Chains A and B, each alone.
Chain A
Amino acid sequence: MAIASPIALLALWEWASATGFLREVFFPRPSTIAVHLRDLAADGTLWAHLATTLARIGWSFSLAAVLGVAIGLAMGLWRRLREGLDPVFAVIYPIPSVLFLPLVSFLVPPGEIALVVTTAVTSFFLIAFTTTHGVRQIDQRVVEAALHYGARGWRLFATVLLPGALPFIFTGLRLGLGFSLIVVVAVEIVAASRGLGALLWLSWQILKVEDMYATFFVIALLGGLLSYGLAALRARLLPWVPDLGDR
């Protein structure tokens, strides 16, 4: 099913465009888009933009992951901190990340760094939230048993609290990575001349609709790969988590 449903959708699209049910000017056939995608790849355009976007995701996701996990753990462990930060988070979190771009540009050098930091904002909140929750949902009976068997301080953290929170941290990382892609593309549309978002927007503006769709597919594929990659990593790193059928 995972493979069949996208293929069926593409076949339907091909048919609709070929028969004129959809206007080919705006909805070129997938087979035409594939040709354009090949050309974009062949002349190196696609790879250059893809590399730029991947680098931005890499930096901003790393930033969000490190800060999000650290602050999320701290909030999970210390009630005072959690109660202090919760209202701030609640207010900032729902703001669409792209809106932070001007603000961030005042704080850090505009350009690449501002772009990376803006992209990190939403992922950071997602990762911090899930990490906090991950610490809080640990079975207190297990913590008590660990205390009874002599785990204290750092050992309690490393052998109980951190592993106990890890499944949630992974969920947060997966969501955060997905949002990094969403936001980076949005920011690239608004404020960059390179990157997949910029390529997509430029193609649209000069009405190279086939290139726009080609870029669109690359972005979709990238999102899928990142998500499956982290899910596979999770299954690898957390063998104790029963298979939830969640991929």
Chain B
Amino acid sequence: MPTREPKVLVNEVSVTFESRGRSVVALDRISLQAHAGEFLCIVGPSGSGKSTLLRVLAGLHRQSAGEVRIEVDHPGTPLTAMVFQEHALLPWRTVRDNVTFGLENRGVARAEREARAREMLAMVGLTRFAQHYPHQLSGGMKQRVGIARALANDPEVLLMDEPLAALDAQTRTIMQEELLRIWATLGKTVVYVTHSLEEALLLGDRIVLLTARPGRVSQVYPVDLGRPRGLEVRASPAYGALLETIWSRLREEVVRAMAEDRGPEADGLGA
């Protein structure tokens, strides 16, 4: 359960991309924090740099300015583990070997790796598929493997980059419920990027809204819709009101992003 204790601290982080001799500011002095055990959702129009922010947190991209701090509770495990948008599993490794990949790279003993994989696969409901290869699985199952792979590393913070965006609507709904269950079980701090406001409202403790490029923090909304939360939350008046509030603000940003993409400043730089 979320506390007030800060877990992730992002302080004045900027990211500038150099592209054909011009520089494009993707993130402009972003400051935010995620509390320990919090499910923090980041929402913004495309091009707002939400994925870039996640990549900075993951250490896959270096910020141009500012700092990122992640509080360490269990030394020896990685700071972050990312669930990628297109799952990015290693096609030549079985489900089990994908899940143990991070542990293997860290030199964890085989017996421990395999025990950990069993535990994680049981949690995501893929025990029977341990010896399958990714191409034998459905999209939803692949993303379950992606989640198991990330969690097997017992990271301080779980990062998720639109993990359900590529799935069909029904699978996505099932996966959202699964995610809530797993998060409630493990109590991990999660930073979750999505372009779906409905998803953010269902999953998140707070929603950080980013502006169109350059990405800045527009506003942070607490999601006071109670826990445990299920799909029925969509019927509550509070949900509708919050959706309306955030959407009216997000809409402006989306319109601005679209206008900018059409304008001469557009640079085809996806984030």
Q: Are A240 and B78 in contact (CB under 8 A)?
A: no
Contact yes or no, A240 B92, CB < 8 A: yes
> Are B135 and A159 neighbours in the complex by a CB distance under 8 Å?
no
The answer to whether A150 touches B106 (Cβ under 8 A) is yes
Known pairs A148-B60, A166-B92, A240-B135; A141 contacts B105 (CB<8 A):
no
Given contacts A240-B133, A240-B135, contact A150 B92 (CB under 8 A): no
Please tell me if the beta carbons of A145 and B88 are within 8 angstroms of each other in the complex. Answer: yes
Whether A148 contacts B101 in the complex (CB less than 8 A), given A141-B84, A142-B88, A164-B92, comes out as no
Contacts of A239 in B (CB 8 A): 133
Chain A 145-161 interface residues, beta-carbon cutoff 8 Å to B = 145-152, 155, 159-160
| A166 surroundings in chain B (CB, below 8 A) | 92
A242: CB under 8 A from chain B? yes
Q: Count residues on chain B whose CB falls below 8 Å from chain A CBs.
A: 24
Could you say which residues of chain B place their CB within 8 Å of the CB of A163? 90, 92
- State the main secondary structure of chain A at its contact with B: helix
Q: Which B residues are CB-close (under 8 A) to A149?
A: 81, 101-102, 105, 149, 153
B41-60, CB < 8 A from A = 58-60
Contact A146 B90 (CB under 8 A): yes
Residue ID in chain B nearest A149 by CB atoms:
B102
Q: Among B58, B88, B101, which residue has its beta carbon within 8 angstroms of that of A151? A: B101
B209 in the interface (beta carbon within 8 A): no
The answer to whether residues A159 and B101 also contact, given A142-B90, A148-B82, A239-B133 and a CB cut-off of 8 A, is: yes
Tell me the total A-B contact number using a CB cutoff of 8 A.
57
A149-B101, A149-B149, A150-B106 are known contacts. Are A240 and B91 too (CB-CB below 8 A)? yes
Q: In residues 179-201 of chain A, which contact B (Cβ within 8 Å)?
A: none
Q: What chain A residues lie within 8 Å of B92 (beta carbons)?
A: 163-164, 166, 238, 240
Complex Cα distance, B135 from A239, in Å, reads 10
Grouping DSSP codes into helix (H, G, I), strand (E, B) and loop, the B interface class, with mixed when no group exceeds half, is: loop
Residues on B with beta carbons closer than 8 Å to the beta carbon of A39: none
Q: A13-38: which have CB < 8 Å to B?
A: none
Looking at the assembled complex, report how far the CB atom of B133 sits from the nearest CB atom of chain A, in whole angstroms.
Answer: 4
Does any Cβ of A come within 8 Å of B178's Cβ? no
CA distance A139 to B89 in the complex (A): 10
Take A149-B153, A150-B78 as given contacts and tell me if A141 and B135 are in contact as well, using a CB distance cutoff of 8 Å: no
Across the two chains, which residue of chain B brings its CB closest to A147? B60
Instruction: Let me know if A86 is at the binding interface, CB within 8 A.
Output: no
Task: Tell me, in angstroms, the Cα distance from A128 to B263 when the chains sit together.
Answer: 45
B86 contacts chain A at the CB level, 8 A cutoff:
yes
CA distance A151 to B90 in the complex (A): 12
A38–B86 Cα distance when bound, in Å, is 59
A160 to B93 Cα, complex, angstroms: 10
| Contact residues of B between 17 and 71, Cβ < 8 Å to A | 58-60
A residues at B contact (CB < 8 Å) = 139, 141-142, 144-152, 155, 159-160, 163-164, 166, 238-242
A142-B88, A148-B59, A150-B78 are known contacts; what are 7 more A-B pairs with Cβ within 8 Å? A145-B89, A145-B90, A149-B81, A151-B101, A159-B93, A240-B92, A240-B134
A-B residue pairs, 3 tightest by C-beta: A150-B105, A145-B88, A149-B102
- Some 11 contacts from A to B, beta carbons below 8 A apart, are A148-B59, A148-B60, A148-B81, A149-B101, A150-B105, A150-B106, A152-B105, A166-B92, A238-B92, A240-B92, A241-B135
